[in-house]
């Protein structure tokens, strides 16, 4: 329960997963929430497992590895944002396989060092040295996944309800806003690490 309460502010803070859901929630694609939640869940499980095995700690302590992961994640978010800005309305898209896929949300989450940091900073507050094991981290990951899936589902319902109330929410506006947010998240990640601002050497946080 304590871990769940601590995770609520982190989960409800808009990020890549919520933006991906919001961008596609009003389209004709089916199971958007399930795909985003599924991909995010796989990413969370990956972070929890790696933290339990000690690999995440290695990345967080190595400036070079951390920077590589940070750059890859930022570039991926920017690429997703550009694709969202360039996307055509669903009714004009006929090519198969162009819809949102589970692996898109997975890659966005697994390349996010801040998501990995949850299991190296927040989780240890609720586990001692004897209980900080892969199995117990997976239990906490299950709580994290449940909260995330619930938040994505609530967000999707709210967006669809809003769409019905005002009769029509322009798809281009939703897609464009989502694209800008994803690009903004990627640029913010680069800025935080001193890449965009031209700062000095990176220090893992």
- pLDDT per position as a tens digit, 1-14: 889 998 888 888 87
DSSP state of 167: S
Is position 184 within any domain? Answer: yes
Query: Is the CB of residue 86 less than 8 Å from the CB of residue 197?
Result: no
Considering the domain boundaries, does residue 4 fall inside one? no
Q: What local confidence, expressed as pLDDT, does residue 91 receive? A: 47
Q: Cα(35)–Cα(47) distance, rounded to whole angstroms?
A: 18
The answer as to whether 171 is a domain residue is yes
CA angle, corner 149, sides to 145 and 152, nearest 5? 140
Nearest to 23 by CA among 103, 100, 102: 100
pLDDT at 156: 87
Q: Which residues contact 59 (CB under 8 A, 6 or more apart)?
A: 65, 66, 69, 113, 116, 204
Q: Is the pLDDT of residue 128 over 90?
A: no
Over 80: is that where the pLDDT of 179 sits? no
Q: What is the pLDDT of residues 140-152, one digit of tens each?
A: 999 999 999 999 9
Total domains in the fold of the chain: 1
Q: At what angle do helices 16-24 and 134-165 cross, to 10 degrees?
A: 30
Residue 61 scores a pLDDT above 60: yes
Per-residue pLDDT, averaged over 79-91, amounts to 68
For the cut 70, the answer to whether the pLDDT of residue 161 exceeds it is yes
Q: Which domain holds residue 34?
A: 15-192
Whether residue 161 is contained in a domain is answered as yes
Total Cβ atoms within 10 A of residue 64:
11
Confidence of residue 122 (pLDDT cuts 50, 70, 90): confident
- What pLDDT score does 143 carry? 96
Mean pLDDT of 166-178: 62
Is residue 98 pLDDT above 80, yes or no?
no
**Average pLDDT of the chain, as a whole number:** 77
Residue 147 to residue 7: CA distance in whole angstroms: 8
Residue 137 has pLDDT above 70, yes or no: yes
What's residue 46's pLDDT? 93
Is 197 part of a structural domain of the chain? no
Q: Is residue 136 part of a domain?
A: yes
The answer to whether residue 3 sits within a structural domain is no
């Amino acid at each position: 329960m304590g871990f769940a309460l601590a995770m609520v502010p982190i989960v409800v803070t808009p990020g890549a997963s919520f933006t991906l859901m919001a961008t596609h929630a009003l389209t004709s694609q089916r199971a958007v929430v399930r795909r985003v939640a599924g991909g995010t869940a796989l990413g969370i499980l990956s972070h929890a497992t790696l933290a339990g095995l000690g690999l995440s700690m290695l990345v967080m302590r190595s400036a070079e590895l951390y920077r590589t992961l940070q750059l890859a994640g930022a570039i991926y978010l920017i690429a997703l944002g550009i694709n969202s800005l360039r996307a055509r309305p669903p009714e004009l898209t006929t090519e198969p396989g162009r819809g949102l896929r589970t692996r898109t949300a997975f890659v966005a989450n697994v390349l996010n060092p801040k998501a990995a940091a949850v299991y190296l900073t927040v989780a240890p507050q609720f586990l001692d040295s004897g209980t900080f094991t892969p199995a117990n981290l997976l239990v906490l990951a299950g709580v994290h996944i449940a909260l995330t899936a619930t938040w994505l589902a609530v967000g999707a319902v709210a967006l669809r309800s809003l769409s019905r109330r005002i009769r029509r929410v322009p798809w281009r506006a939703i897609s464009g806003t989502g694209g800008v947010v994803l690009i903004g998240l990627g640029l913010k990640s680069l800025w935080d690490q001193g890449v965009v601002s031209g700062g000095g050497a990176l220090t893992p946080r």
